[in-house]
Amino acid sequence: MPEIKLRARRGAARDALAANVSEVAPMERTMVAPAAREGAAGDLETVFDLRDVTVSYGGRPAVKGVGMSIARNRITAIIGPSGCGKSTLLRCLNRMNDLVPDARVEGEVLFHGEDLYAPDVDQVDVRRRIGMVFQKPNPFPKSIRENIAFGLKVNRQKVTDERIEQVLRRAALWDEVKDRLGQDAFSLSGGQQQRLCIARAIAIEPEVILMDEPCSALDPIATLAIEDLMRELAEQYTIVIVTHNMQQAARISDRTAFFTVAGTEEGQRFGVLVEYDETIKVFQAPADPRTQDYVTGRFG
Ligand code: ADP
């Protein structure tokens, strides 16, 4: 069995994995190479370290007891059925839950070893360093250029034609918009708007980009363009993506965290982390039967 290095999966091997998802039962697939398993132990730099994290709304836990670490310059996918707390967990990585009334985060969320929720941490700075892209493209009702200029200004950078071009190139949008920078952002297609939002996030020069179902409002071709972009961006940024699309998780991510809904005898229901490992392992040889049921489509 040849060794599969993490980087090797960025190409054809990962596409083959994505194509196989939910078509072949995990046990019938080949075993995961040893290198993939060792990588799961975490020989990469840790950006986030979550320890026993519980997020509640109005005293009711939405996701409970999560422990996981997120590696630098990798794409980490969060998957699981609707309502298992994927978005809730994502939002606690840049303190977006602070904006939700009644939301409470317990446990520890460490960012480069520092408590992200310490009283002296500046929330605005946190959201500058840890950017977010949402499900529905949300450009400002301004020109394409002004959307990027906004990001540059947040980062106190000079707005020059060169910087605008550089950012739009990095978001793989330049060729499509270079002759219409003054046009309204809403004149773009949905996929282009989403890449513009990614460009605006990049202009702020974050270290991490959180993406909450960024392709769910897009057609398959626009989705592939965003996925290609994500793979390119992972060279420079740490990306955490929530997706309900398992093929997408298999295609683009290095690590996958599978959540499901658990409950108490009293009828309380909340999300729990079931399995977190190299993506290839989660999809080809999951350790937990609940993961296996989900990735093979036996879960409603
Ligand atoms: P997912 O992203 O996996 O679909 P969510 O994180 O959106 O799950 O939701 C997890 C649980 O938290 C659900 O029961 C949902 O109703 C609840 N929830 C999410 N956002 C809020 C909110 N702003 N206020 C109250 N409850 C919320």
**Residue to mutate (ligand 1; options 84, 87, 88, 240; most atoms within 8 A of CB):** 88
For residue 287, pLDDT beyond 90: yes
The span from the CA of 210 to the CA of 111, in Å, is: 14
Q: How far is Cα 28 from Cα 295, in angstroms, rounded to an integer?
A: 13
Given the structure tokens 């994505």, which residue do they identify? Answer: 18
Residue nearest to atom 26 of ligand 1 (CA): 57
d(CA 123, CA 126): 5
Q: Is 0.75 surpassed by the pTM of this model? A: yes
Which burial class, exposed, middle or buried, applies to 260 when counting CB atoms under 10 A from its CB (0-12, 13-18, 19+)?
buried
Q: Which residues line ligand 1 (CB under 6 A)?
A: 57, 62, 80, 82-88, 100
pLDDT digits (tens, 9 = 90+) for 97-131: 998 989 999 999 999 999 999 999 998 899 999 99
Long-range contact list for 115-124, CB < 8 A, 24+ apart?
A: 123/95, 123/98
Distance (angstroms) between ligand 1 centre and the Cα of 62 equals 6
Rounded distance from Cα 28 to ligand 1 centre (Å): 35
| Length in residues, the chain | 300
Convert the pLDDT of each residue in 147-182 to its tens digit.
999 999 988 899 999 999 999 999 999 999 999 999
Supply the residue whose CA is at minimum distance from atom 7 of ligand 1: 87
Evaluate if residue 17 carries a pLDDT over 70: no
pLDDT at residue 20 above 80?
A: no
Q: Quote the ligand 1 centre to 270 CA distance (angstroms).
A: 9
Which ligand 1 atom is at minimum distance from the Cα of 84? Answer: 3
Query: Residue 40 to residues 69, 73, 192: CA-CA distances in angstroms?
Result: 10, 15, 34
Q: Domain 6-134+207-295 maps to which CATH number in 3.40.50.2000, 3.30.9.10, 3.40.50.300, 3.65.10.10?
A: 3.40.50.300
Distance 137 CA to ligand 1 centre (A): 20
Are the beta carbons of 252 and 230 closer than 8 angstroms? yes
Confidence of residue 224 (pLDDT cuts 50, 70, 90): very high
Which residue, judged by its Cα, is nearest atom 20 of ligand 1?
A: 88
Confidence of residue 26 (pLDDT cuts 50, 70, 90): very low
Cα 218 to chain centroid, rounded: 16
Q: Tell me: pLDDT of 9 over 70.
A: no
Nearest protein CA to atom 25 of ligand 1, as residue: 57
Q: What would the DSSP string read from start to end of 191-207?
A: HHHHHHHHHHHHHT--S
83 C-alpha vs ligand 1 centroid, how far in Å? Answer: 6
Contact 110, 69 (CB under 8 A): no
Q: Which ligand 1 atom lies nearest to the CA of residue 88?
A: 6
Neighbours of 280 (CB within 10 A): 27
The pLDDT tens digits for 242-264 are 999 999 999 999 999 999 999 88
**E-only strand ranges, 81-237:** 103-111, 114-115, 130-133, 208-212
82 alpha carbon to ligand 1 midpoint, in Å?
Answer: 9
